[in-house]
Amino acid sequence: MINKGLSRLGTVFLYLISLLPFWLLYLLADVLFVILYYVIGYRRKVTQENLRNSFPEKNEAERADIERKYYRYLADLMLEIIKMASISKQQLQRRMVCTNPDWPDKYKAAGKSVTAVTGHYCNWEWVSLEFSTHTRLFVIYKTLANEIIDYFFLKMRTRFGAVGVPMSQTLKTCLAHQKEFTVSAFAGDQTPTLATANYFTEFLNQPTAVFLGIEKIAKRIDSAVIFCDMRRIKRGYYEYTMVPLIEHAKETAEYEITQAHVKYLEMMIHREPQYWLWSHRRWKLKPKT
């Protein structure tokens, strides 16, 4: 009961923070950056190792510059995600803009389902929320252990009409809507479980376990596969472009879809590396020798 009470109190606190105007929110982010980077050194060893292994061609000063920029952005990202609890549709659409809004027309006309892939890059949460203001969207997510926190984040992500789909229900949901225009959103850099880590590919100069569920589901329903390319324009403002990767998933060779979305994400990271989630333990799984 005590834990539930604290969790409820925590969600109320997060909601109250979300009500702050952006100028004050970013002032808090500046303070949070100092705490994360200088005071507690949040996962800095993990971040430094990931950067060192990913960019062996860069010198120490270049990697340190990326690291510092990353933590400054991470602080902004944390507060921006909290802001989702109360941001208006108009504010969101002004701050997250699609550069090619007519991209779904041909899929709508054909009644074809779409598999959308993104990564933990820029503000992936905002783009899903904005996307759901004008397109039928299934957001595939991992449930959290804390039911109250899980409900808070699910409610936040589905405020504008998205449908939250637990990973265990993904195939069932996609099959039920495969002949309709729907978009199912996946994080392509999600680490697979140990039991499903059956495929490794070269990603950022390292053998990397890749989640194959995206490819398997896309082939099963013969969807189109598109990638959400994101850019940060300035603090609190982004744009995204929906980039077609595969038109007919069933016609692809084994691992073709997986390679396509992994390589596109890698290109984005090389373009502006500070916006990827470097503090995540992405390479904890190693290929069997």
DSSP secondary structure letters along 104-146? THHHHHHT--EEEEE-SBSSHHHHHHHHTTTS-EEEEEPPPSS
* Cα gap 121→87, rounded to integer Å: 20
CB 73 within 8 A of CB 26: no
Three-state secondary structure call for residue 186 = strand
Closest-CA residue to 221 (of 120, 68, 107, 142): 107
Looking at residue 66, what is its pLDDT?
Answer: 98
Three-state secondary structure call for residue 288 = coil
Greatest extent of the chain over all pairs of C-alpha atoms, in Å: 54
Q: What are the residues facing 230 on neighbouring strands?
A: 240
Tally Cβ neighbours within 10 Å of residue 195.
Answer: 6
Token pair in block for residue 141: 């997510």
* Cα gap 209→286, rounded to integer Å: 7
Token pair in block for residue 66: 């990326």
Looking at residue 178, what is its pLDDT?
Answer: 85
Looking at residue 198, what is its pLDDT?
Answer: 85
Closest-CA residue to 263 (of 243, 283, 286): 243
Instruction: Please give the chain's pLDDT, 289 residues, in tens.
Output: 557 778 889 999 999 999 999 999 999 999 999 999 999 999 999 999 999 999 999 999 999 999 999 999 999 999 999 999 999 999 999 999 999 999 999 999 988 999 999 999 999 999 999 999 999 899 988 888 889 999 999 999 999 999 999 888 988 999 888 888 999 999 989 888 877 888 999 999 999 999 899 999 999 999 999 999 999 999 999 999 999 999 999 999 999 999 999 999 999 999 999 999 999 999 999 888 6
Looking at residue 289, what is its pLDDT?
Answer: 66
- Give 20-53 pLDDT, tens digit per residue: 999 999 999 999 999 999 999 999 999 999 999 9
CB 16 within 8 A of CB 87: no
Looking at residue 78, what is its pLDDT?
Answer: 98
